[in-house]
């Protein structure tokens, strides 16, 4: 595994370029986000998604989210109407995961008989620059597995699954928090999980 240091508030171009290269080639990058370290892979890369499953210690395909740089591309990957768009515009960027109906652009390998996909626009300059450089959203999952083996500190943490990671983007210690998950369906919304994102905004 290769390791590269980064200033998360002002990420260097060489760091972004390296992460893009690894993700484009089907590798797994471990990257600091706005709520935790995230495992990031390229959308539609079967081998990379299978690596994520091994990290998560499950034979089933996990429910992963897509990170976007802004709202402009979301309608390509998820069915969204004006009501949903207004709510997302009010909350994002922020520590929220919105669950929307997936469009046909989402590879079937990501859905596992589901018809929904998680949508995120984090408050993270690093992730924003990475998505912009890739030219497409990235698939992400919290850097932990079903046994609770978390990754927060590049200096101390060494979970067994780290061997499946191709690149560690070291942004220093980052306490693990959860996003607030919001299910959107028609005129209704449901707070599935309360996390860092403020629910009073709803």
Q: Given this model, what pLDDT does residue 173 score?
A: 97
Q: Which domain, by its residues, includes 122?
A: 2-201
In sequence order, what are the residues at sequence separation of 6 or more whose Cβ sits closer than 8 angstroms to the Cβ of residue 8?
32, 124, 125, 126, 171, 172
pLDDT level of residue 58 (50, 70, 90 thresholds):
low
- Residue 142 is part of a domain; what is its CATH number? 3.90.870.10
pLDDT level of residue 59 (50, 70, 90 thresholds):
low
Q: Number of structural domains, the chain? A: 1
Tens digits of per-residue pLDDT, 13-30? 999 999 999 999 999 999
Q: Given this model, what pLDDT does residue 113 score?
A: 63
Tens digits of per-residue pLDDT, 98-149? 999 988 888 776 776 678 899 999 999 999 999 999 999 999 999 988 777 8
Q: Given this model, what pLDDT does residue 81 score?
A: 87
Tens digits of per-residue pLDDT, 157-172? 999 999 999 999 999 9
CB atoms within 10 A of CB 36: 21
pLDDT level of residue 34 (50, 70, 90 thresholds):
very high
In 3D, which of 124, 136, 181 has the Cα closest to residue 7? 124
- For all residues of the chain together, what is the average pLDDT? 90
Cα distances from 90 to residues 20, 53, 67, 93, 194, in angstroms, run 29, 33, 17, 9, 17
pLDDT: which is higher, 202 or 66: 66
Q: Given this model, what pLDDT does residue 136 score?
A: 94
Q: Given this model, what pLDDT does residue 62 score?
A: 62
pTM: predicted TM-score of the whole model, two decimal places: 0.91
Tell me what the mean pLDDT of segment 79-106 comes to: 91
DSSP conformation class of 60? S
């Amino acid at each position: 595994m290769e390791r590269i240091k980064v200033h998360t508030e002002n990420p260097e171009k060489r760091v972004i370029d390296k992460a893009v290269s690894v993700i484009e080639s089907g590798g797994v990058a471990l990257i600091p986000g706005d709520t935790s370290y995230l495992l990031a892979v390229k959308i539609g890369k079967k081998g990379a998604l299978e690596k994520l499953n091994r990290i998560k210690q499950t034979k089933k395909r996990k429910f992963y989210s897509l990170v976007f740089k802004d709202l402009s591309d979301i309608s390509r990957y998820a069915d969204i109407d004006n009501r949903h768009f207004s709510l997302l515009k009010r909350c994002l960027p922020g520590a929220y995961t919105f669950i929307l109906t997936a469009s046909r652009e989402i590879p079937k390998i990501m859905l596992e008989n589901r018809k929904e996909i998680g949508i995120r626009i984090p408050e993270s300059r690093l992730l924003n620059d990475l998505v912009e450089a890739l030219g497409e959203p990235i698939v992400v999952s919290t850097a932990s597995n079903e046994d609770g083996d978390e990754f927060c500190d590049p200096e101390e943490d060494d979970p067994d699954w780290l061997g499946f990671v191709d690149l560690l983007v070291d942004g220093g210690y980052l306490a693990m928090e959860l996003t607030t998950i919001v299910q959107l369906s028609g005129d209704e919304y449901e707070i599935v999980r309360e996390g860092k994102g403020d629910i009073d905004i709803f």
